Amino acid sequence: MYTVCCDCGLEHHESVDYACRSCSGILLPAYEKTAATPLHETELNGIWKYHRYLPPVPKEYRVYMGEGTTPLIPSVSLGAKLGIGELYFKYEGGNPTGSYKDRIAAMGLSWARAAGRTACIGTTSGNAGAAVAAYAGRAGMPYHLYVLEHMAEAKLAQVLVHKAQVRKVKEFGTNPEVGELVFQRIFQAAVKRNWEVMITAYRYNPYAMEGVKTIAFELFEQLKGVPSHIYTPVGGGGLYCGIWKGFDELQADARSDGMPHLVAVQPEGCSNIVKAYKAGSPVPLDGPSSTSISGLQVPNPPDGKLVLQVMHKGGGSAVSVEDSMIWEAQELLAEQEGIFCEPAAAASVAGLIQTCRDGIDRSAMRIVCIVSGTGFKDSRRLSDMTQNLTVPCLEVSELDI
Q: How many beta carbons lie within 10 A of that of residue 34, not counting itself? A: 14
Domain carrying residue 344:
72-99+208-385
- Distance (Å, rounded) from C-alpha 259 to C-alpha 247? 6
Residue 123, SS3 per DSSP:
strand
Average pLDDT, the chain: 93
pLDDT per position as a tens digit, 305-344: 999 999 998 889 999 999 999 999 999 999 999 999 999 9
- Distance (Å, rounded) from C-alpha 144 to C-alpha 197? 10
Residues pairing with 88 in the sheet: 74, 368
141 or 300: which carries more pLDDT confidence? 141
* Domain-embedded: residue 186: no
Q: Which CATH number goes with the domain that contains 314?
A: 3.40.50.1100
Average pLDDT, integer, range 247-262: 94
* Domain-embedded: residue 367: yes
* Domain-embedded: residue 360: yes
Work out how many domains the chain is built from and give that number: 1
* Domain-embedded: residue 95: yes
* Domain-embedded: residue 138: no
Label residue 15 by pLDDT band (50, 70, 90): confident
Residues pairing with 73 in the sheet: 89
* Domain-embedded: residue 296: yes
* Domain-embedded: residue 53: no
* Domain-embedded: residue 130: no
Average pLDDT, integer, range 259-268: 97
Average pLDDT, integer, range 202-223: 97
> Cα–chain-centroid distance for residue 45?
20
Average pLDDT, integer, range 17-31: 91
